Amino acid sequence: MGSGNFLGHFMPGIFFIGFGTFFLLLILTRCRTLAIDNNKKSGTKVGYCDVHLPERNLDLLCRLGGLMMVCSIGGFFGEALSALSYGASFFHLLPHQAMYASFLFAGVVVYLEGRRWIFPEASRIAATLAFALNYILWNEHALMKKEMADQRVHSLQAQINLC
């Protein structure tokens, strides 16, 4: 079966690119706004962490948590349907499904934090746990590859989770 099918790699790629791009743009926008506000003030300057940690925009957390849950569930079942389409079992791509499950967990925690049902910054802990689990899964996935190029690509995907 080689390195898998296109859909099984395209869906997580889009998920990670979207996830990373959103947060990068959010942080850059907030830093720019903070720099402009600090330039207008004289005296004490406020830092990014003073303003945005813990996350104060609870609506953003709820929406982001919901989106993460929907994308993760979609990815989980997308992987299952992909396996079923070529005659394998529902859990044939269980390592891929475990990656989605870890982000489903993180999405639930983000949503719960947005509703103030759990402590502030729990979402950062859950995201760190999801990325650590994804590193372990990608790294083990890379080690089982026979072709060196395929092994290297999956190894790099594992290392990206540590950034």
pLDDT in tens, the chain (163 residues): 455 667 666 777 787 788 788 888 988 998 888 888 888 877 777 887 787 778 889 999 999 999 999 989 998 888 888 888 888 888 887 888 898 999 999 999 999 999 999 999 999 999 999 999 999 998 998 899 899 988 998 888 888 888 7
- Does pTM surpass 0.85? no
H or E, element range at 9:
helix 6-40
**How far apart (Å, rounded) are the C-alpha atoms in residues 99 and 71?**
12
Check residue 1 and give its pLDDT.
45
Q: Are 79 and 93 contacting, i.e. CB atoms less than 8 angstroms apart?
A: yes
**Length of the chain, please?**
163
Residue of 137, 155, 159 whose CA lies nearest to 79: 137
Which pLDDT value is given to residue 16? 76
Of 123, 130, 121, the closest CA to residue 108 belongs to: 123
Residue 152 tokens, joined: 């290297």
What is d(CA 156, CA 151) in angstroms, rounded to the nearest whole number?
A: 9
